[in-house]
Amino acid sequence: MTDVSLAAVLPLLGAFVLPLTRHGILRPLGPVIGPILLAACALILFAAWSAYDVPYAVALGSFAPPMGITFYIDDLALLFALAVPLTTLVLWPGESDPAATGRQSLTLLLAGSLTGLALSGDLFNVYVFYELAAVASYGLVVGDGRSPAYVAAFRYLMISALGSVVGLIGIAIIYFKTGTLNLADLSTLSGELADPQGMAAFAMLVIGFGVKAEAFPVNGWVPEVYGAVGKRVAALLAGLASKLAVLVIVRILILVFPHDETRQLLLVLGILGVAVGELAAWQARDIPRMLAWSSIGQLGVVFVAFSLPGKAGVIAGVTVAMHHLVVKSALFLLADRWDRAIESLKGAASTSRIGAALFVLFSLSLLGLPPLPGFWSKFLVLGGLAASASPLQLLAMGTILAGTVIEGAYLLRVVVTFYARPDAAVRVPGQRAGNLLGAGLFALVLLTAAVMINPLWQGLEVLAERAVDTNGYQHTVLGDREAGR
């Protein structure tokens, strides 16, 4: 019986062991440590999902909650946690230049802290893992030493640090009012946080954790960073890191602040994100920044989805988030060699037929063409909004639909350019085999999801039911009080 907390610990351990393999007898181990550890984490999490009776809680170091630190393991946590090692494996920086060891080490650090973020059951731990992920991502942004990356990283660091200060103030307010940071304990006390002070605390936490989740007011770093860094790192940040930050906000929303006002706040931020992101993406003239702005718009949709009350919100939110994880990671992988102005990519389809075809597939899914999963994700969000049609939700519906039209305009503009007659003067670079393989794997996931829509739906229903069950959460963490496994 392996402890599921190993999934967070192993990559952290690997991150510190990896630099030791630069010299000496451990040298041949260097390139393989990372992938092996990540595969082991994926196996541990998969075993936990299939073998144990979820949900259950792990008390680290045998200190019983609410005093000790807990990991809470349910389907929602495991789904997001499992996405971390799998996505990181596909996006693994496997180059062999001298700086590669550092980059791999930081990638492992990011993977470990993101897994911890998915499993953590108290705000203290969430804060620590979040900061760890943030530091790892600053390192990854400046990893290949391009000049614009330094400025982008500095701005990212400043916005992120500002966010953590605001988030810390939010945590201080919560602690002042309740005297605990354990999420299960807080959810029993959620009535005490239903006043303006509690709302302020929630707003501050959303600002704090929203920096990585590309939430509306604190997303100024996104286009600069994704434009300046290597596109594999951009895929990791846009695809993976943002989703784990969203998961943290959702956990806090469901467990601690299950009020209408907090949902409305998330809804408004989501609407603004969609509007700003899609309009700016339409203006963008190169592929990386277009994808960056479009990812802000997509995360706006994720926020709108999670603002729906009850099970419907979780189902819609998880679908949109996972779909965006797959699609945006793949699109950034394809943008690795095509990171330039759109008009200079005329005739890209003739140099890399597969690359262009994959780009079309992911674009269509992002737009929501019916057989592809993107359609179902948007359908669930719009259906949920229509079901409880308050004026604000109708506005959200209109914004998402208008956003889809704009999305269509800019994505199809790229597709048309790809399939235009190639310009004799400009040579479009072909795709690297590794990137094509990664994007192909993501395409396989997408198409499998499109075929397996029925079993996936049933799985999601169970997942959502357990995720919104706050009584179950409290009972699992506080009631059993079993000593650490």
Partner 1 sequence: MSTSVGLVFFIGAIGLCVIGITGIVLSRHLFRMVLALAIAEAGANLLLILAGYRWDAVAPIFTGTAGGQAMVDPVPQAMVLTAIVIGVGVQALALSLVIRIKERYGTLDMQEARQCMQDDLDDAGGVTPSRSRERPAGERPIPAPTVLNSTGGQHD
Contact positions vs partner 1 (CB under 8 A)? 124, 127-128, 131, 134-135, 138, 142, 146-148, 150-155, 157-158, 161-162, 164-166, 168-169, 171-173, 175-176, 179, 181, 224, 227-228, 285-289, 339-341, 344
CB atoms within 10 A of CB 310: 14
d(CA 38, CA 239) in angstroms, rounded, equals: 17
Shortest Å, Cβ 31 to partner 1: 27
Shortest Å, Cβ 286 to partner 1: 4
CB-nearer residue toward partner 1: 21 or 113: 113
DSSP letter (8 states) at residue 191: G
Shortest Å, Cβ 354 to partner 1: 23
Q: Which ranges in 339-390 belong to alpha helices (H)?
A: 348-351, 353-367, 373-387
φ and ψ at residue 484, rounded to 5 degrees: -55, 135
CB-nearer residue toward partner 1: 153 or 464: 153
CB-nearer residue toward partner 1: 113 or 404: 113
Shortest Å, Cβ 127 to partner 1: 7
Write out the two tokens for 80: 């997001």
CB-nearer residue toward partner 1: 13 or 161: 161
CB-nearer residue toward partner 1: 52 or 154: 154
Shortest Å, Cβ 153 to partner 1: 6
Residue 1 half-sphere exposure toward CB, CA atoms < 13 A: 5
First-last CA distance in the chain: 9
d(CA 421, CA 423) in angstroms, rounded, equals: 7
DSSP letter (8 states) at residue 68: S
CA torsion sign for 472, 477, 480, 483 is: positive
CB-nearer residue toward partner 1: 150 or 457: 150
CB-nearer residue toward partner 1: 162 or 272: 162
Q: Are 295 and 324 in contact (CB under 8 A)?
A: yes
Length of the chain (residues): 485
Shortest Å, Cβ 165 to partner 1: 5
CB-nearer residue toward partner 1: 402 or 420: 420
In one-letter notation, the amino acid at residue 201 is A
Closest of 126, 18, 124 to residue 77, by C-alpha:
126
With tokens 């290597």, the residue in question is 230
Write out the two tokens for 434: 């590794």
In one-letter notation, the amino acid at residue 366 is L
Shortest Å, Cβ 93 to partner 1: 20
Q: Are 242 and 212 in contact (CB under 8 A)?
A: yes
Shortest Å, Cβ 122 to partner 1: 10
CB-nearer residue toward partner 1: 201 or 460: 201
d(CA 164, CA 172) in angstroms, rounded, equals: 12
Closest of 129, 124, 140 to residue 81, by C-alpha:
129
Shortest Å, Cβ 482 to partner 1: 22
Shortest Å, Cβ 310 to partner 1: 32
Q: Is 58 helix (H, G, I), strand (E, B) or coil?
A: strand
CB-nearer residue toward partner 1: 214 or 339: 339
Maximum pairwise Cα distance, the chain: 71
d(CA 19, CA 8) in angstroms, rounded, equals: 19
